[in-house]
Structures are given as C-alpha cells and as structure tokens.
Amino acid sequence: MSKRDDDILLEGIRKRLENYSEPVPDRVWHSLEKELSPRRVPFRRSLRRWAAVAAAFAGVIALGWWLSATFTGRVSPSLMAGADAPPVQSAAVHERSPLAAEAQDAPQGEALLAEAGTAPAARLSRKHSSAPVAAAAKAVAAPLPQEEAALPEEEAGNTRQEEPGDTVESVSLVQKRGGTRGGKAWRAAAMAEHRPKGQKKWSMGVSYLNTASVRNDGLSGFHTLKEGQGNIQVGKLPLPNFSTALPTEDKPMQDALLNNVGQAPPETRYEHKMPVSTGISFRYAFNEHFAIETGLTYTMLSSELESSSSAGVYVEEYKLHYIGIPVKGNWIFLDTKFLSLYLSAGFALEKSVAGKYERVYLSGDGDNAAWNETVKPMQWSLLGSVGVQFNATERFGIYVEPGVAHYFDDGSGVQTIRTEKPTNFNLQLGLRWSY
C-alpha cells in the first residue's frame, strides 16, 4: 500500500467511528449512582452544618461554664460543713458583677445540689408562711444600693443563726415560695440573686434558627422557581408563564416544550434547602412574667430545581438574603435559678436585601440567565414558640425555642420554602445575657 492509501484508509475508519456509540446497559449507571452517593455535601450545606455545629458548641461551652460554677462550689469550704465564714465573706465582697455573682452562686449551687439530695418531704415540712413572690419582687425593684447595704448585714445575721441544713432549706424556699426565716430584705436580696431573669430588665441574645428543607424528586412537566406574574399556587410549582417571563430564555423553553410534544414527559426535581437564620435579640421584662422582645434577623433561603426532557436539561438556582425584625411578647411562667420556661408569640417583618437567580442549560438550546434579584414585597410572618432556658449563671443562659411560624404569601411569584410550606415548625437555639 502506498502511503497515501494508508492515510486514506485509516482516516476513513477514524471518521467513521470517532463518534460511534454503543448501547449501554442500565446496570452501569445504577452501580455508579450507588457509589457516588451519599452526595458529598456542597459547600453551602456545609456552611449550614457549621452554623449548627457552632451553635451547639456554644451551648456546650455554656453548659461547661455552668458545670464548672457548680463544681467549684463543691470544692470550696461548704455550707454543709457548718462553716459560717464563706457566705459572709462572699457577701462582703459582693458586687453586682458576674464574677462575684458566680462566687455567690457557688455555695448556694452546692447547697442546692445538697438540697436535691434531701427528701422532698423534709423540704415541705419546713414550709413557712410567706409573702407572695410578687411582693418580694417589688421589694427588689428598689434601687440597688439599699440592697447592697442590707445584704451583708442580714445575710450574715441569718447565716450565723441558722444551721447549715436550715440555710439550705431557706434558700430553696426562697426560690420556690418566697418564704424565709430571715428578714424581708434578706429574702428580697436572695431573690434578686436567684431570680435573675424576671428582675433583670434587659436581656440580649444571639440565636440560630433551624427549619427542615423541602424536596420533591418526581414532579412531572417543566417548572420554574420564578413565575413571571400570576397566581401563586401554594404547594405546587407553576409552569413558566410565557407571556410575561423574561425575553431571553422564553423562546428556548417554548421550543423545548414544543420539541417535547409526543415524547416522554419532562420531569422536574427541586429542593428548597434548609434555611439558615441567625439573629440578635433584645428583651425587656416589664415584670417577672411578661417581657417584650425584638431584634434583628438574617435569613438565607436557597432553592434548586432541575427539569429534564429529551429536548434538554436546565437547572435553576435561587439564593435570597433577608433581613428581618421580629416583635414578640413573652409570657414567662417559670423562672428559677437554673431554668426558665416561657411562651412566646409575635410577628416578624422581613425584607429581601440581596438575591441571585440563575438558570443554566446543561444541554439543549437555551440561553443561560442570571441576574441579581431582590424580592420587592415585604414578608410577613406570625411566630409562636415555647422557650426553655437553662441558666448557666444568673446573667447568662442558653435557650431552646421550638416553635411554629406561618409565612404570608408576599405576592412576588418567587417560589421558596415559604411558599411551599407556609406553616412550618422550627427550632431556635440561642444564648441570652441579662442585665
């Protein structure tokens, strides 16, 4: 063969077969799919997980702080030993500072632990008639310096008179019933020490909110995350609205639909990802039972959609950033040294301040689209929750608020987790400082 013939033959064969395709059995993909999932968590989702981890970590730190405060009491000279000095000393150096408060707490903390060991019957038998809790609270509302002056005196006096056991009892009684053996001032002062949240007017908190994500893996037809205009169908994604949707990607979608006539129906999968929500809050307590709370929240909503057919495949992604202001009323129905329970109800107003929408055609004819978009209307929501707060110190606590939120349709045509599931359960974790 001449060289030219060689080349022609090989070239001919190459051209013939370079795009040749063999039929592939399904099992290969199934096996691949199994090996590829569990999906590696994309960075976004990792961020969410990290936020949850950080909140949990903060909780652990708070818990550790509380535990160390408690166990420090165990190490220091204890009430149980009958020594009078420690309470007096700690009272003498008493100031309204966290450090001293902690020191103050320590012996009492230890005492409480001891009390926990005592039979409940013993506790009950020591019941004294007592001024109501509210009265004591009012007494404490008096300016601080008086309390300060009263405290060392009264407490010193009381401690010397009583046995350790009695002191233990008194402390617990003061907490639970407001009764005491000592003077009113002492009682009031003790209340101030051990009933911080009701008496401390101002609280500040940071929080992280967790809601479930929503996912649908088998929806028929083409869908979009952003409707041009028109009615929202709660719980369903609408078909693209050709008359009003943006010009650049309209026609390809129409083409895709037309090309698709008579073929297998297109399929859509979408997921509204777990929203990330954090915030700071400020709470003002009118009295020990009622408080009003407001603050600032940041929420990120993100959703993904994929529609595929024999004509083409496109994916859409949406990320929205909201800043919001919640306004809530809290009814605190239990407030003790270690635990607070409250009910919370209110509303929130949120506005999208930044957002990005993207549609990408992975195959098929279509112009990709991407633009920054904020949702114009405000998002209103109603909130309700139950709060459980564990107090590490009298000023600091960690709280958990499982709750319910209902989001009103903002009429924007944007499909998010809030349009899909307007009423949902959420869990808020946070830290709260009180002054």
Q: Please report, as residue ranges, which positions from 63 to 122 form the binding site for another protein (by CB under 8 A).
A: none
Token couple for 150: 């009263």
26 binds another protein (CB under 8 A): no
Q: Residues 142, 151: contact at Cβ < 8 Å? A: no
For 151, counting Cβ atoms within 10 Å of its Cβ (0-12 exposed, 13-18 middle, 19+ buried), the class is buried
Task: Determine the Cα–Cα distance for residues 353 and 298; give it in Å rounded to an integer.
Answer: 10
Q: How far is the CB of 306 from another protein (least distance, A)?
A: 5
Q: Residues 204, 282: contact at Cβ < 8 Å? A: yes
Q: How far is the CB of 31 from another protein (least distance, A)?
A: 6
264 binds another protein (CB under 8 A): no
34 binds another protein (CB under 8 A): no
235: left (phi over 0), alpha (psi -120 to 50) or beta: left
25 binds another protein (CB under 8 A): yes
40 binds another protein (CB under 8 A): yes
220 binds another protein (CB under 8 A): no
Question: Segment near another protein (CB under 8 A), from 32-40, 91-99, 157-165, 205-213?
Answer: 32-40
Q: Please report, as residue ranges, which positions from 360 to 379 form the binding site for another protein (by CB under 8 A).
A: 360-365, 368
Q: How far is the CB of 410 from another protein (least distance, A)?
A: 28
Question: Segment near another protein (CB under 8 A), from 184-192, 345-353, 355-363, 384-392?
Answer: 355-363
Instruction: List the alpha helices (DSSP H) in 162-296.
Output: 164-176, 184-194, 196-199, 247-259
Best CA proximity match to 268, nearest among 323, 224, 209: 224
Give how far the C-alpha of residue 29 lies from the chain's centroid of Cα atoms, to the nearest Å: 39
217 binds another protein (CB under 8 A): no
Question: Segment near another protein (CB under 8 A), from 25-33, 78-86, 185-193, 395-403?
Answer: 25-33
Task: Determine the Cα–Cα distance for residues 234 and 424; give it in Å rounded to an integer.
Answer: 14
CA distances from 262 to 20, 123, 365 (A): 27, 81, 19
Minimum CB distance to another protein smaller for 22 or for 121: 22
Q: Please report, as residue ranges, which positions from 276 to 335 form the binding site for another protein (by CB under 8 A).
A: 306, 308, 310-313, 315
22 binds another protein (CB under 8 A): yes
Q: How far is the CB of 23 from another protein (least distance, A)?
A: 7
Minimum CB distance to another protein smaller for 1 or for 81: 1
Backbone CA torsion sign across 147, 152, 153, 159 = positive
Q: Residue 98 corresponds to which amino acid?
A: P
Residues that bind another protein (CB under 8 A): 1-2, 5-6, 8-14, 16-25, 27-29, 31-32, 35-37, 39-40, 42, 269, 306, 308, 310-313, 315, 360-365, 368
